[in-house]
Amino acid sequence: MITPCLTVVRPGLFATIQDLGRFGHQELGMPVAGALDPIALRLANALVGNPPGAAGVEVVLLGPALKVEADGVRVAVVGPMALSVEREGQPPQPLEPHRSHTLTRGDVLKLGAVSGAAVAYLAVAGGFALEPFLGSLSTYVRAGIGPLGGKPLGDGGRLPLNRNDAPPGADVELPEPPDYGGGPVRVVLGPQDDRFTAEAVQTFLSADYRVGKDADRMGLRLDGPTLAHTGSADIPSDGLVTGSIQVPGNGQPILLLNDHQTAGGYAKIATVISADLPRVGRLSPGGTLSFRAVTVEEAEAIRRRQEQTIAAWVRAIRPVRPAGGVDLEALYAENLVSGVVDIVNGNGDILNRENMCGSCP
């Protein structure tokens, strides 16, 4: 039998396979990579019954078209994205994000433009049958590391599937698209805020910055007021994390994202807190942001509350309700399916696996 797969009919702009990151090998200079918006990936996985750290397709700006070469597949897209399905002999049919869809052989899933955020995620029930490298399925394109030869999805490529059919049960949905909140992006000052003038720190925390055109998975160049160092901008190279804000000699900050190099030699004024990384991961050129300082303890409390919110979103996943009115079939299905969902939550499976991954940024 031919391996079940999704065939890439059209690759989109820059779609890569990502999980929650390749941790544990930065001492080799190996970047972490991983999903720019880990919350969206976790929710997409929850919608198809996968563990939260399963790899999905990260879509940047414009998505691919994928043909189902399996008896069936259940998919879910999380992110503000237009999508549709084309079935042979039928006109294209729009699909909603933030829910699962059960597709059958020959269907072509078309992921369109991402609006208002740079990224969206596609998860498939059972995950992709791809070989992890150093424990992860994240793609790091600069060095060709990860599945599919470390490249973005290409024309005619194939995404092999672990399942040949959709799992039993009805399709499910998130009641609401996830709301990440707004306001200034929260940072913890340091590790080298003492290498900037007091005025520069003040400016950094009060100015508006715009994401420049040099923005990719490695980082965002921010346009705004320049930040003065007290001395040299250079330090002996030390470790970087996703969210590090380094400031080279020209005084223009660079916010590092998931494909950041493991170490760098520019002074870092501040670091974005982990709870706000999904927000900055969704920024694209032209987007604006400002910063507010919190302590490490505050950042930890914010992250704990966020984990509770994500858990509540996962618990709220329910069978899809047809538009308008009560539907007996849906009610019936809800009894069955919410039971399944409760079992998954009730024995802590989703939550425990979440914790076990140990790699949540």
Partner 1 sequence: MDVRFTTAGDTAFNVEFGEGIDRPTNARVMALHARLKAAALPGLVETVPTFRSLQVVYDPALTSRSEVQAAVEAELAHAADAPLEGTLWRLPVCYDPDLGPDLAELSASLGLSEDRLIDLHGSTEYFVYMLGFMPGFAYMGDLPPELEKPRRSEPRLRVPAGSVATAGRLTTVYPWESPGGWHLIGRCPVPLYDGARPSPVLLAAGDRVRFEAVDRARFDSLTAEAATGRFDPDTLRAAP
Measured CA distances, 230 to 226, 246, 248 (Å): 13, 15, 13
Any contact of residue 202 with partner 1 (CB under 8 A)?
Answer: no
Q: State the minimum distance, in angstroms, from the CB of residue 264 to partner 1.
A: 8
Q: Which is nearer to partner 1, 58 or 354 (CB)?
A: 354
Any contact of residue 156 with partner 1 (CB under 8 A)?
Answer: no
- Tell me which residue has tokens 């031919």: 2
Q: State the minimum distance, in angstroms, from the CB of residue 360 to partner 1.
A: 5
The three-class DSSP label of residue 239 is strand
Quote the CA–CA distance of 101 and 170 in Å, as a whole number.
9
Q: State the minimum distance, in angstroms, from the CB of residue 249 to partner 1.
A: 13
Q: State the minimum distance, in angstroms, from the CB of residue 94 to partner 1.
A: 36
> Number of residues in contact with partner 1, rule: CB under 8 A?
51
β-strands 291-293, 185-189 pairing: parallel
* Burial class (CB within 10 angstroms; exposed 0-12, middle 13-18, buried 19+) of 228: middle
Pick one of 4, 11, 64, 243: the residue that binds partner 1 (CB under 8 A): 243
Measured CA distances, 21 to 106, 123, 181, 198, 243 (Å): 32, 16, 24, 35, 14
- Number of Cβ within 10 Å of residue 85's Cβ equals 18
Tokens of 356: 């076990």
Any contact of residue 272 with partner 1 (CB under 8 A)?
Answer: yes
Any contact of residue 304 with partner 1 (CB under 8 A)?
Answer: yes
Q: State the minimum distance, in angstroms, from the CB of residue 190 to partner 1.
A: 4
Site string for partner 1, 282-301 (x = CB under 8 A): --------------xx-xx-
Q: State the minimum distance, in angstroms, from the CB of residue 196 to partner 1.
A: 14
From 7-15, 24-32, 102-110, 163-171, span contacting partner 1 (CB under 8 A): 24-32
Pick one of 105, 151, 303, 315: the residue that binds partner 1 (CB under 8 A): 303
- Burial of 317-351, coded b for 16+ CB within 10 Å and e otherwise, reads bbbbbeeeeeeeebeebbeebeebbeebbeeeebb
Pick one of 4, 12, 31, 278: the residue that binds partner 1 (CB under 8 A): 31
Q: State the minimum distance, in angstroms, from the CB of residue 50 to partner 1.
A: 19
Quote the CA–CA distance of 104 and 165 in Å, as a whole number.
8
Do residues 22 and 140 lie in contact, with contact meaning Cβ atoms separated by under 8 Å? yes
Return residues touching partner 1 (CB under 8 A).
Answer: 23-31, 133-134, 142-143, 145, 187-192, 236-244, 261-264, 268, 271-274, 296-297, 299-300, 303-304, 307, 354-355, 358-361
